[in-house]
Structure 1
Amino acid sequence: MWLRIHALLIKEFLNLVKDKKSRFVLIVPPMVQLFVFGYAATFDLNQVPIAIYNQDAGIASRDLIARFNGAPAFREVLRIGHQAQIAEALDSKQVLLVLHIDRHFSRDLLSGRQPAMVQILLDGRDSNTAQIALGYAQSVLSDFNMNWARERHIPLAPATLQTRAWFNPNLESRWFIVPGIVGLMTLVVTMIVTALSVAREREQGTFDQLLVTPFTPTEILIGKAIPGLIIGVLEATFGIVMALFWFQVPLLGSLAALYLGIVLYVFSVIGVGLMISSMSVTQQQGLLGGFLVIVPAVILSGYATPIANMPEFVQTLTLINPLRYFLVIIRGVFLQGLDSAALFDQYWPLLIIGVLSLGCAGWLFRRRLY
């Protein structure tokens, strides 16, 4: 049996190497995803374009403006001279934020009057970006207040807030995004390779040749699954190496725990891919079927938006999504240092999904075979 499966494995790998489309799927998409998303997809804001409307000529307003201009998050692109320019700057998306300093700002601060008025106007069309920019602006204002009080020996508030971010001390969004990209690119490559495997045989006319060989349906299915498993693990390994040495994401946990999750994750994706391939007559159908699964899987995985923020019925749908569990595994190992015992509740759903989907793929394969 294993000698026959070994021969089928060699045939599958030769098909992948010789087929230009398969070589493209194996090499180009992972590279593009890793570099484009690794650098372009970020929750950090740098060089946010801002406008300043300063009605005060005092020293305090100049100090505050200097702090905004010195902050790496902001870049002044416009100095506003009158009120009407504010709406125009925000409407045209020329700026994301407008800092409006009241004409009595310095006088009120020097005299101890409260409050000294500063207004921040934000473009709220992208609410997430606006909230991040507001947080940066509030941080600059807080530093200004602390420094002003310290230099003039004004009593500070009795309680001050000190924050510390666990697992990501510098709040680098790349540390969160890049491990997720490893799961995403492994999903895409493994799904496409397996979704095309049986469909390729049918389209090229070699499927009938398999029927007259001594292979049983189970052996053919295993021969189709193992190449996808090897390729998926290799793709994940490539992503992990890039995350560690190129993007400098720390790996705090166990490699054994991570690779156990990778094998289970790829196993579950293979089952889904072979289900699609068993139902497909042409490679185009297999490709479209693969992407019909990939897009919802990414959206419902928690990669970009937290699952807890989704409606309850949508949260229930995510339970059948392998990527959901793998993102917890890889981010937990990379950033939290979790081991296999802590991740057991993520492992067993992947195993169940893999067994059920591969069993369903085997049933479909036999049904289409005879």
Structure 2
Amino acid sequence: MLARLFALIIKEFLAILRDAKSRMVLIGPPLIQLVVFGYAASFDLNHVPFAVYDQDQSALSRDLVADFAGSPSFQQVAILHSPARIKQLVDSRTVEMVLDIDPRYSRNLLLGQPAPVQVIVDGRNSNTALLILGYASDIITAASHEWAAKHGGTLPPAQLVPRALYNPTLDSHWFIIPGIVALLTQVVTLLVVGLSVAREREAGTFDQTLVTPLRPIDIVLGKSLPGLIIGLVEGTVIILATHFWFDVPLLGSLVLLYLGLLLFIAAVTGIGLMISSLAATQQQALLGAFLFMVPSIILSGFATPIANMPTLVQDLTLINPMRYALVVIRDSFLEQPSLTTLLPQFAAMTSLALISLITAGWMFRKRTL
């Protein structure tokens, strides 16, 4: 049995690697997507274009403008001399923020009174607007403390001293890029496994496999093990790039990380085999894979917290293996989780892997009878 199974695995690898298009799917797109997502996907804002409407025109107001212009988060693109152009610049998306300094700004500062400063933001993208307001608030607060310290003013009795655990710089790449490990591993594994049987059906070689002494369980194992190995290799490449190229720290145990990755790939392999057993052509298998992938990514917590989703949608995420893989991978990169901490994730992925692989075997058996 092992000799037949080994021969089938070798045949699967040859079928995948001898095709130039298949080789490109395995090597090119994952690396390109990793680079694109790694640099483009970020919750941080840099060089936000803003305009200044300085009604005070004093040295103090110019110091405040300089604080904004010198920040890496902002880029000054316009100076306004009347409020008439504010709406025009925001409507055209030329600027995302307007710094409106009241004419009483310096006078109130010198008198020890609150100095009015208005920040006008484009609220069409609420997340971006909240980030801009947060950055602007930090700069204005820092300028206020500096002024009070230099001129003997009264500092606030309580001061907020933030400290972020696991991500001291609050760099959103540390959150996003480990998630890309799970995302790209799922994409590659699902495509390789999902197209395997459909490719043979189109070529007419799958019927030849059925008349061999191989049992349905042998065929399922022979189709799933190459996808499992390819998924682990792809995941390893992406993990190495995440740590050494993007400088995301890898603090956890490699054993626990790879155990979670193996269980995740096993679950995705079972889903790919289910899609492959239903599809008669590669086009159908490709459509089936994408029909699964898009909801899987959305319902995984990759970009939006699962806790913010409606209760019914949260229940749907329980059957999504990527949900658990993201927890394992992100915790392994940024924390030092123990086996006990990750045990619920391992148990869930093991259950999903067994269910998907057993179901795939049953579906193959039904199709071959």
Q: Would you call these one fold, judging by a TM-score over 0.5?
A: yes
The 3-state SS of whatever aligns with 1:120 is strand
| Partner residue, 1:122 | 121
1:274 aligned partner, one-letter code = L
1:250-274 deviation per Cα after TM superposition (whole angstroms, max 9, x unaligned)? 0111000100001000000000000
Gap regions ≥5 residues in structure 1: none
| Partner residue, 2:359 | 360
In percent, how many aligned pairs have the same letter? 55
1:248 aligned partner, one-letter code = D
Within 2, Cα distance between the matches of 1:287 and 1:339?
Answer: 38
* Per-residue deviation, 1:158: 1.1
Give the TM-score normalised by structure 1: 0.99
Matches within 5 A, 1:333-348: 333-348=332-347
* Per-residue deviation, 1:59: 2.0
The 3-state SS of whatever aligns with 2:53 is strand
| Partner residue, 2:253 | 254
CA contact (8 A) 2:296 2:322 kept: yes
Gap regions ≥5 residues in structure 2: none
* Per-residue deviation, 1:20: 2.6
| Partner residue, 2:293 | 294
Within 2, Cα distance between the matches of 1:58 and 1:285?
Answer: 68
1:203-255 deviation per Cα after TM superposition (whole angstroms, max 9, x unaligned)? 11001101211111110110000001000111110011001110011011100
Within 1, Cα distance between the matches of 2:21 and 2:307?
Answer: 38
1:43-99 deviation per Cα after TM superposition (whole angstroms, max 9, x unaligned)? 111111001100002222111111011111000001111111100010000001110
1:290-310 deviation per Cα after TM superposition (whole angstroms, max 9, x unaligned)? 010001100111111111111
| Partner residue, 1:34 | 34
* Per-residue deviation, 1:336: 1.3
1:262 aligned partner, one-letter code = L
| Partner residue, 1:198 | 197
| Mapped pair 1:132 → 2:131 | yes
Give the TM-score normalised by structure 2: 0.99
CA contact (8 A) 2:112 2:153 kept: no
2:277 aligned partner, one-letter code = S
| Mapped pair 1:207 → 2:206 | yes
Within 1, Cα distance between the matches of 2:42 and 2:192?
Answer: 29
Within 2, Cα distance between the matches of 1:28 and 1:339?
Answer: 35
* Per-residue deviation, 1:341: 2.0
| Mapped pair 1:71 → 2:71 | yes
The 3-state SS of whatever aligns with 2:214 is coil
The 3-state SS of whatever aligns with 2:365 is helix
* Per-residue deviation, 1:33: 1.4
1:333-363 deviation per Cα after TM superposition (whole angstroms, max 9, x unaligned)? 1101112221001001101111111111111
* Per-residue deviation, 1:368: 0.9
Matches within 5 A, 1:85-104: 85-104=85-104
Within 2, Cα distance between the matches of 1:117 and 1:183?
Answer: 48
| Partner residue, 2:14 | 14
Within 1, Cα distance between the matches of 2:24 and 2:360?
Answer: 26
* Per-residue deviation, 1:26: 0.6
